[in-house]
Chains A and B, each alone.
Chain A
Amino acid sequence: MIKSTTLKRLLAGAAVAAAVVVAGPALAKDKLRICASTKEAPYSAADGSGFENRIAARLAVAMDREPEFVYTDKFAIYIVGEFLDAKKCDVVMGADVGDERMLTTAPIYRTGYVYVSREDKNFTGASWNSIADTDYGRFAIRFYTPAEVMLKYAGKWEDNAAYLYGLINFKSRRNQYNQVAADQLVSEVANGGADLAIAFAPDVARYVKSSPVPLRMTMIEDEIVRSDGKTIPLQYDQAIGVRKDDRALLDEISAALPKIRGDIDAILTEEGIPLLPPSS
């Protein structure tokens, strides 16, 4: 199910500016068809309040295009295969730099996995291994993330599993993708249900910032070293992706990005995301 919405509200400022420049009948602008999920808050939401929705709207204006959000009610994990590659939309706002399924821009920001704890716990761990030394037993994480590996390596997975599956009502993941809501990661810590949340910082930054209970976000500074010697990075450059054969659109986006550098920084700062210097 796809819903196509032009978010005029977000563009109110731009529309006024355009009316000034273009005298007489308005020219139909090219559209920027943005792949978006209705259920990926805080990244993307049906009302356009996701921070990636907001960056996308700015980007379209900078490209002199009209943003068209092509919404799906599926989770974003399905977007590249079922929507971008199927040419139902043309731009994915959240992608790792170098994601092999797409062409990606230079990084627009870099951040990493964080611990979220209550200030009054005074947790200072900054390594993926820090939880092994604690007596913590309840962890709120999202499934299929490096946080799963961290819990397993620390010997904290099994005793935490019933709690964690409870957050998704014990739904099976065969034939369906289920995920813990990002805001719940934070509320579980705030209300004492979890000792810690472990999450990619953009998942939780907004909710940490607005939490009525004082919370702390601590960046994890190292990489997970697996038993087979391979590493799992915990810090990632985030970029914008297009289809592999859509070089022209990538170039157009790349040319527009410097114009909205200030807007992007403002949106990320407002979100509360701890930023790192991009690596590439």
Chain B
Amino acid sequence: MRGYVTAYDVKTGEQAWRAYATGPDEQILLADDFNIHNPHYGQKGLGTGTWEGDAWKIGGGTNWGWYAYDPGTNLFYYGSGNPAPWNETMRPGDNKWTMTIWGRDIDTGEAKFGYQKTPHDEWDYAGVNVMMLSEQKDKDGNVRKLLTHPDRNGIVYTLDRENGDLISADKLDDTVNWVKEVQLDTGLPVRDPEFATRMDHKGRDICPSAMGYHNQGHDSYDPERQLFFMGINHICMDWEPFMLPYRAGQFFVGATLWMYPGPKGDRQAYEGLGQVKAYNAITGDYKWEVMERFSAWGGTMATAGGLVFYGTLDGFIKARDADTGELLWKHKMPSGAIGHPMTYEHNGIQYVAIYYGVGGWPGVGLVFDLTDPTAGLGAVGAFKELANYTQMGGGIMVYSLDGKSPYTEDVNVGEWKPNNG
């Protein structure tokens, strides 16, 4: 109902500090020089001033996503989520500091900067996605410590993680339509009212859907190639408000959401719900991009060997060429993946591991056996074909890069031998 992040002492369990997303500055823990480098982001008094009355007390902004920490800046970075309640007419104002990229001192919790990506969210674009740290030369050739964040709202943001400067803000796909552009000088999105979610307006083909073009996936960066590899949802939605009267002065205000493939997908077959892209945050260019049958929900892993691994909802783990996107290898797993791959070395052999097990928001229909297309806020309709490609299950798969299992060399490894005969 009111998001916060809390630090505890790992030895004693004692609470070190707590910082809210909304409310009085002292509860949000703003540093004295908060946003000093970017005063146009907003500074003091806005955690209450951008809300009507006491609505900030139940204003949401929960941070349920990823955190990143840089020992060099001593800051950690995360996103606060969407404001509450969902019906935007009930909370006029920017609703700060929901939907915000935070840079906080890890010892005191004090915020050095905060950049609100989606002021007054209307779409449920909870801004909690992965924060990826890199050091790159900007357009002027200066090496900067960067923070790159592909947001639910369909924009991938790159900030200077020392001071919060906005370096770039590009669409994850040219089909993003709620926003025409994000102005780098003001930091503000320029909205297209046609794709707003107002109570007097049926919104059609709003991209992204409430799921976002990027959700909880954990993506990767290749410093040699200066490329981020991102798994993307290609899903749009219709949003229909309704008001149902009832007796004795009662009426129910609600909205119905339908979700379906974006314009580049197959809207008859309900496939083409995902993309994987290689992105340069300095130039804003996409070096390559491929479509997927379903969302690339779990995110990617880049290796120094020039490969990009990711899992798919229909149960494949795939490897592509980091330079070209060419598909080099895949393996079908017992169930779809919503997690990201990882890699490690053991006794001189490199391994790639991934959790599989279809679930999460895209799996809600398959897992709970739902058929109403508007169930799961429309996810059941969007992913109605998923049950034809995979099934429930859960486990971990580990692949060795030399192609050998523990039993390849000696089939008797691990066999039980009776010792009493």
Known contacts A158-B58, A161-B1, A162-B1: A175-B256 contact under CB 8 Å: yes
Contact with B252, one of A146, A177, A200, A232 (Cβ below 8 angstroms): A177
Q: Are A76 and B58 in contact (CB under 8 A)?
A: no
Q: How far is the CA of A101 from the CA of B251 in the complex (A)?
A: 13
B58-110: which have CB < 8 Å to A?
58, 86
Q: How far is the CA of A145 from the CA of B58 in the complex (A)?
A: 19
Q: Are B249 and A236 in contact (CB under 8 A)?
A: yes
Residue from B55, B86, B254, B378 having most chain A Cβ neighbours under 10 A: B254
A154-211: which have CB < 8 Å to B?
155, 157-159, 161-162, 165, 172-177, 200
Q: Does B244 contact A (CB under 8 A)?
A: yes
Q: Are A94 and B257 in contact (CB under 8 A)?
A: no
Q: Are A158 and B249 in contact (CB under 8 A)?
A: no
Chain A residue contacts of B58, Cβ below 8 A: 158, 161-162
Expressed in whole angstroms, the minimum distance between the Cβ of A232 and any Cβ of chain B is: 6
Q: Does A233 contact B (CB under 8 A)?
A: yes
Known contacts A94-B247, A144-B246: A173-B54 contact under CB 8 Å: no
Chain A residue contacts of B251, Cβ below 8 A: 144
Contact with A175, one of B1, B246, B254 (Cβ below 8 angstroms): B254
Q: Are B244 and A174 in contact (CB under 8 A)?
A: no
Chain B residue contacts of A95, Cβ below 8 A: 247
Chain B residue contacts of A142, Cβ below 8 A: 250
Q: How far is the CA of A77 from the CA of B254 in the complex (A)?
A: 12
Q: How far is the CA of A232 from the CA of B250 in the complex (A)?
A: 10
Q: Does A238 contact B (CB under 8 A)?
A: yes
Q: Are A144 and B57 in contact (CB under 8 A)?
A: no
Could you mark each residue 115-145 of chain A with 1 if its beta carbon is under 8 Å from any beta carbon of chain B, else 0?
A: 0000000000000000000000000001111
Q: Does B248 contact A (CB under 8 A)?
A: yes
Nearest B residue to A239, CB-CB:
B247
Chain B residue contacts of A76, Cβ below 8 A: 246
Residue from A159, A173, A232 having most chain B Cβ neighbours under 10 A: A173
Contact with A174, one of B53, B57, B257 (Cβ below 8 angstroms): B257
Q: How far is the CA of A158 from the CA of B55 in the complex (A)?
A: 6
Known contacts A158-B55, A165-B1: A99-B254 contact under CB 8 Å: no
Q: Are A144 and B54 in contact (CB under 8 A)?
A: no
Q: Does B414 contact A (CB under 8 A)?
A: no
Expressed in whole angstroms, the minimum distance between the Cβ of B255 and any Cβ of chain A is: 6
Q: Are B249 and A145 in contact (CB under 8 A)?
A: yes
Q: Does B406 contact A (CB under 8 A)?
A: no
Q: Does B291 contact A (CB under 8 A)?
A: no
Q: Does B374 contact A (CB under 8 A)?
A: yes
Expressed in whole angstroms, the minimum distance between the Cβ of B248 and any Cβ of chain A is: 5
Interface range on chain B (Cβ under 8 Å from partner): 20 to 34
Chain A residue contacts of B199, Cβ below 8 A: none
Contact with B244, one of A81, A113, A145 (Cβ below 8 angstroms): A81
Contact with B378, one of A99, A175, A238 (Cβ below 8 angstroms): A175
Q: Does A234 contact B (CB under 8 A)?
A: yes
Nearest A residue to B56, CB-CB:
A158
Residue from A96, A158, A162, A238 having most chain B Cβ neighbours under 10 A: A158
Q: Does B305 contact A (CB under 8 A)?
A: no
Q: Are B378 and A234 in contact (CB under 8 A)?
A: no
Nearest B residue to A43, CB-CB:
B247
Expressed in whole angstroms, the minimum distance between the Cβ of A170 and any Cβ of chain B is: 9
Expressed in whole angstroms, the minimum distance between the Cβ of B166 and any Cβ of chain A is: 31
Q: Are B245 and A101 in contact (CB under 8 A)?
A: yes
Nearest B residue to A160, CB-CB:
B58
Expressed in whole angstroms, the minimum distance between the Cβ of A53 and any Cβ of chain B is: 16
Nearest A residue to B374, CB-CB:
A175
Q: Are B374 and A234 in contact (CB under 8 A)?
A: no
Q: How far is the CA of A94 from the CA of B250 in the complex (A)?
A: 13
Known contacts A77-B244, A144-B253: A158-B374 contact under CB 8 Å: no
Residue from A144, A157, A238 having most chain B Cβ neighbours under 10 A: A144
Q: Does B375 contact A (CB under 8 A)?
A: yes
Q: Are A96 and B247 in contact (CB under 8 A)?
A: yes
B131-187: which have CB < 8 Å to A?
none
Chain B residue contacts of A232, Cβ below 8 A: 249
Chain B residue contacts of A161, Cβ below 8 A: 1, 57-58
Interface residues, chain B, with chain A CB atoms under 8 Å away: 1, 53-55, 57-58, 86, 244-257, 374-375, 377-378
Q: A77-B244, A81-B244 are in contact. List 12 more A-B contacts (CB 8 A).
A: A77-B252, A143-B252, A144-B250, A145-B248, A145-B249, A145-B250, A155-B53, A155-B54, A158-B58, A161-B58, A174-B377, A236-B249
Interface residues, chain A, with chain B CB atoms under 8 Å away: 76-78, 81, 94-96, 99, 101, 113, 142-146, 155, 157-159, 161-162, 165, 172-177, 200, 232-234, 236, 238
Provide a sorted-by-A list of 9 A–B residue pairs whose CB atoms are within 8 angstroms.
A101-B245, A155-B53, A155-B54, A159-B57, A174-B257, A175-B256, A175-B375, A236-B248, A236-B249
